[in-house]
Chain A
Amino acid sequence: MKINVTDRAGNALVLDCEEGDRLMDVLAELDLVEATCGGECSCATCQVYVDPGWLARLPAREELEVELLDELLNSNAQSRLACQINLESEMDGLTVTIASAE
Chain B
Amino acid sequence: MSSAQPVVIIGGGQAAAQLVGSLRSQGYTGRITLICGENTLPYHRPPLSKKYLLGQLPVEKLLIRKPEYYQRLDVRVMLGCPVSAIDRAARSVALDDGTQVDYGRLVIATGGRARGLSLVPEHMTGVHHLRSKADAEALRADVFPGCRVVLVGGGYVGLEVAASLRMLGCEVTVLEAQDRVLGRSAAPPIAEHLVACHTRTGGRIHCGRGVREIRGGAAFSAVVTSDGEEIAADRLVVGIGMTPNSELAEAAGLACENGIVVDENCRTSDPDIHAIGDVACRSIGGDCLRLESVDNAIQTGNIVAADIAGADRPAATAPWFWSDQYDTKLQMVGLAPANAQWVVRPGDGDRLSCFYLRDGRVAAAQCLNAGGDFMVAKRLVAAGRSICPEQLTDSAMALRDL
Instruction: Spell out A's residues near B (CB within 8 Å).
Output: 25, 28-29, 31, 34, 36-38, 40-44, 64, 67-68, 70-73
Contacts and interface: CB of A to CB of B under 8 A. Distances in A.
A31 B25 contact: yes
B322 A37 contact: yes
Given A42-B322, A64-B371, A29 B44 contact: no
Interface of B, helix, strand, loop or mixed by DSSP? helix
Nearest to B43: A38
A44 B44 CA distance: 17
Contacts of B230: none
Interface centre among B46, B69, B331, B371 (most CB of A within 10 A): B371
A43 B332 CA distance: 11
A72 B294 contact: no
Contacts of A44: 375
A70 B379 CA distance: 14
B375 A71 contact: yes
B190 to A, nearest CB: 16
Interface of B: 21, 24-25, 44, 46-47, 61, 64-66, 69, 294-295, 298, 320, 322, 324, 329, 331, 371-372, 375-376, 379, 400
Contacts of A73: 379
Given A41-B371, A68-B371, 4 more contacts: A38-B64, A42-B371, A43-B322, A68-B372
Contacts of B61: 25
Contacts of A38: 44, 46-47, 64, 294
A31 B322 contact: no
Contacts of A29: 65-66, 69
Most buried by B among A28, A31, A34, A44: A31
Nearest to A41: B371
A25 B60 CA distance: 12
Contacts of A40: 46, 322, 324
B211 to A, nearest CB: 32
Nearest to A65: B371
16 contacts: A29-B66, A29-B69, A31-B21, A34-B298, A37-B322, A38-B44, A38-B46, A38-B47, A41-B371, A42-B371, A64-B329, A67-B372, A71-B371, A71-B376, A72-B375, A73-B379
A70 B372 contact: yes
Contacts of B25: 31
A42 B44 contact: no
A71 B329 contact: no
A79 B385 CA distance: 27
Contacts of A64: 329, 371
The 5 closest A-B pairs by CB, nearest first: A71-B375, A67-B372, A42-B322, A38-B44, A71-B372
Contacts of A41: 371
Name which of B64, B66, B375 has the most chain A CB atoms within 10 A of its CB: B375
Contacts of B324: 40
A64 B328 CA distance: 12
Contacts of B371: 41-42, 64, 67-68, 71
Contacts of B69: 29
A57 B25 CA distance: 33
Contacts of A72: 375
Contacts of B64: 38
